[in-house]
Amino acid sequence: MFESIDNQKLVQFFETNLPHYLELLSQMVSINSFTSNSEGVNTLGDLTKGVFEEFGFEFERFPSENPFHGDHLVLTRMARSMESAPTIGLVSHLDTVFPHDDEKKNHFYWRIEGQRAFGPGTVDIKGGTVMISMIMDGLRVFAPEYFDNVNWIILINSAEEMLEHQFGKLCQNKLPKDSLACLVFEGGRVHQSTFSVVTARKGMATYRIVVEGRASHAGSAHGKGANAIVQLAHTITNIADLTDYGKGITFNTATVAGGTVLNRVPHMAVASGEMRAFSPEVLENGIALLRSLEDDIQVQSSNGGFRCGIDVTIMNQWRPWPPNQATNRLCSIWQEAGLELDYEVVSQERGGLSDGNWLWDHVPTIDGLGPSGGNAHCSERSEDGRKEQEFVDINSFVPKATLNILAIIKLIEARSKE
């Protein structure tokens, strides 16, 4: 349908313009876009808007349902001439996990050391937004026929780190069900010539456990009491036992509170946590097992006159993105493109959620198309006790952008042959 692209010239183009892309990333990183910092999120949105308006994208802003969050963005560039043009969605997000005070306290700021660029959001996910801009840039220069004859829809979440349901509904409304693909630009690992793309993600449910006990004086009336904390401890242990790695389901009780003063048998205790699974059926069964713990009461007053009560509440739920045929087909296209570039592309299933969880059964979806990096959410500490901040591998931008463009072209060509 179209002329083939010169991959070597494309690589040279990206290498020549890499300082420009890194400068854009540094501007993004300099803006604090913690999810609840709506002003910062919207400032980053304005910068992002300007980047893609240069490629001819039209801009829409959609206020979040949460007044403390910024606006979601939809950037659209419709096909210029081709009838029944294919549609491709590209997804990123604006928000990061670091409040301004956290950035200042831990010295999180933009800096380059060797082949790493450090700073909040460098890989999660401002680097992914830069990757989208590189793809548009490369297509515009080297494959204008593809650039001009596809409906490009860029969807940018303002509150991905809070897993806001509204954005999923927005994406489903904006992306036609016959779209070729939804491409999600969370970071994807690159190790030498091996590239990871994400083809499945766990779903999650959050829970809250409230135990009602009976208060009594810890000295003179201990036997009249029913210790809510002791009952909660039993329940938490039972929850931990529900984790089954063989079935791919995990439970994590993360917060616990209870009691008032030391000389009183506590009448109330509360815990909250999350559970995750790849399979929708396994996740639902896990929820049922969690709720069944309401009947497993092990603490009562010594005279048997009062038994603790347990209330299990599912606070929120996000469905899994299980392995599926449509995603696997996209992965095979990326693998085919990788072979032409002497790259190995491997499929990865991740425990963390992304916006792909909203979309995988609406439009064929693949994730992990952003650059490679590490320390997302700052999981590591340096030897002197400080947190080492998030980073992106600079040398992953060019090969990953090249791979993505070649795969997108193959995706479009496959559609034209149908």
Domain residue limits, the chain = 7-202+321-416, 203-318
Closest CA to 194 of 406, 391, 348: 348
* DSSP secondary structure of 294-314: GG----B-TTSS-B-EEEEEE
CA-to-CA distance for 29 and 261, rounded, in angstroms? 46
Q: Look up residue 389 and give its DSSP letter.
A: P
How many CB atoms are closer than 10 A to CB 169?
Answer: 12
Looking at residue 1, what is its pLDDT?
46
CA-CA distance, 15 to 76, in Å (whole number)? 27
Q: What local confidence, expressed as pLDDT, does residue 387 receive?
A: 67
**Whether the bond into 88 is cis, omega within 30 of 0:** no
Q: What is the pLDDT of residue 385?
A: 63
Q: Which amino acid is residue 138, in one-letter code?
A: G
Question: E strand or H helix at 291, and its extent?
Answer: helix 280-292
Length of the chain: 418
Could you tell me which CATH number the domain at 203-318 has? Answer: 3.30.70.360
| Residue 410 confidence (pLDDT) | 96
Q: pLDDT value at position 304?
A: 86
CB contact at 8 A, 378 and 228: no
What CATH number does domain 7-202+321-416 carry, 3.40.50.1100, 3.40.50.410, 3.40.630.10, 3.40.50.10190?
Answer: 3.40.630.10
Low-confidence ranges of the chain (pLDDT < 50): 1
What is the predicted pLDDT for the residue at 414? 87
Pick the closest to residue 73 from 265, 355, 283 (CA basis).
355
3-state secondary structure of 344: strand
Q: How far apart are the first and last CA of the chain?
A: 12
β 116-118/190-191 pair status: unpaired
Q: What is the pLDDT of residues 294-325, one digit of tens each?
A: 999 999 999 888 999 999 999 999 999 999 99
Helix axes 126-142, 7-29, angle to 10 degrees: 140
Cross-strand partners of 151: 87
